[in-house]
Structure 1
Amino acid sequence: MNKKINVKRLVQTSLLVALQIILTRFCSIQTPIVRIGFGFVPVAIIATMYGPIWAGVANGIADIIGVVLFPTGAFFPGFTLTAILAGVVYGVFLHNKPVTWTRIIGAVLVIDIILNLGLDTYWLSILMGKGFIGLLPTRLLKEAIMIPLKIITIGVVWKKFIVKLPKFSQAI
């Protein structure tokens, strides 16, 4: 029985990783410095269903597969580290807990301010040879757009779709 559950979990996670790659690489607006998309939704679902470790690993794998199959620049392991940490943060905030607006807002703020605005801007400054502060205005604009978008999207997807899936409670 445990093996069957693990196979089911692996298949569901793999499908969500594939969905994340599609949403990130094909359904997003890409500029040299920022990408605005919906790849965060599958990660939040994985984190809610299976926890921080599964979400972190899945997000890291999705990042590596996305870079290998659809490169938009050079591979840099710092971005993969940020992706792993983002999955972990979603899992810490959303797994085995009631998914509330407060938890969603907390997860999004930690990810977007500390990881995306902080770490990713630092990685970009290393890659581009530009100053951290010089990259901040564009990154701040992106996060000003993404924070409310993520909060609303995750909340709506959760309230309208995920809780209505049959046997969702068994996945947790």
Structure 2
Amino acid sequence: MEKYKGNITTRKLVMASFLTALSIIFTRFLFLMVPLAGLPALRLSFGESPIMLSGVLFGPLLGGLTGLAADLIGVVVNPQGAYFPGFTLSSILWGVIPGFISMYFKKVDNERDYSITNSLLIFLLICGLIKGFFSQDILSIKEGSIYLYDNLLSIPIMVLYIGVFVVLVLLPIFLRGKLNNKSYFSFDKIVLMVSISYIIVSLGLNTLWLSIMFKKGFLILFPGRLLSSIVSIPMHSMIISIFMKYFKYAVRE
């Protein structure tokens, strides 16, 4: 594995600028907004992937600058509601956190396999999601049956949900070695970086910013955002892993 080199070159700046443009396009134009508690609180997009990729390839400084530029330029190009500085901080952290983690992996040349750790993280997120749904009375048990709000969940639907959750838990293990990039990071390390970033930024900070903006309780918004993270973590991880195969030349000295 190549050791980390922290110097900023013209090539890195150009590639970071390109990733900034990709993030703006994905975030501001190619997204799906899902309402939670009657509010537009859940955005599904791939805008974070280019920012995280910038952090992974170029380190926390350029990763953070990519996130900063993507948010500020995106607000000018296509503003979506009132500007809130908390989301600018979140955008910066999307690049900084993977950048620091990638520096650690590059420095120690860690050959450890994190696939089981990633599956355990996704399993814990799913358990938290289920607990959150029950605490918010989205799911309930009445007379030995499970209800979604006031609608009885049929056995086929329950089996489908369980099957999807099982696939999500086993996905990191199944893809172990299939999307590896030997020059930089194996897929399990990418999933770990994405998972840590999502827990801190999306589940933590962004949910807090939304609760402040819309004056809604943190726990009211949390279950839906947790569901989004469970689905988004594997998807972002695969996108970043695939992109790295085409961007790896950008960090060659």
- Would you call these one fold, judging by a TM-score over 0.5? yes
Instruction: Compare 30-39 and 114-123 and name the one that shifted more.
Output: 30-39
Taking the aligned partners of 2:57 and 2:244, their CA distance within structure 1 comes to 11
Q: 1:13 aligns with which of 16, 19, 25?
A: 16
Q: 2:217 aligns with which of 131, 134, 139?
A: 131
Provide Cα deviations, 1:35-67, integer angstroms capped at 9, x if missing partner.
111112322332233211110111011111112
Q: Percent identity of the aligned residues?
A: 40
1:28-107 pair list within 5 angstroms: 28-31=31-34, 32-95=40-103, 97=106, 98-107=184-193
The alignment's C-alpha RMSD in Å is 1.9
What is residue 170 of structure 1 aligned with on the other side? 252
Provide Cα deviations, 1:68-107, integer angstroms capped at 9, x if missing partner.
2211111111111111112111112235723122321221
Taking the aligned partners of 1:64 and 1:168, their CA distance within structure 2 comes to 24
Taking the aligned partners of 1:169 and 1:57, their CA distance within structure 2 comes to 17
Count of equivalent residues: 163
TM-score, length basis structure 1: 0.85
More strand by share: 2
Runs of 4+ in 1 over 6 A off after TM superposition: none
Q: Secondary structure at the match of 2:185?
A: coil
1:22 equivalenced with 2:30 (yes/no) = no
More helix by share: 1
Computing the radius of gyration from Cα coordinates, the structure with the larger value is 2
Instruction: Compare 141-150 and 114-123 and name the one that shifted more.
Output: 141-150
Q: Give the aligned residue type for 1:43.
A: I
Taking the aligned partners of 1:114 and 1:58, their CA distance within structure 2 comes to 18
Taking the aligned partners of 2:19 and 2:86, their CA distance within structure 1 comes to 23
Taking the aligned partners of 2:195 and 2:76, their CA distance within structure 1 comes to 29
Taking the aligned partners of 1:131 and 1:41, their CA distance within structure 2 comes to 28
Structure 1: 5+ residue runs without aligned partners?
none
Q: Secondary structure at the match of 2:41?
A: coil
Q: Secondary structure at the match of 2:252?
A: helix
Closer, same or farther in 2 for the Cα pair 1:157/1:15, shift >3 Å? closer
**Preserved contact between residue 11 and residue 250 of structure 2 (Cα < 8 Å):** no
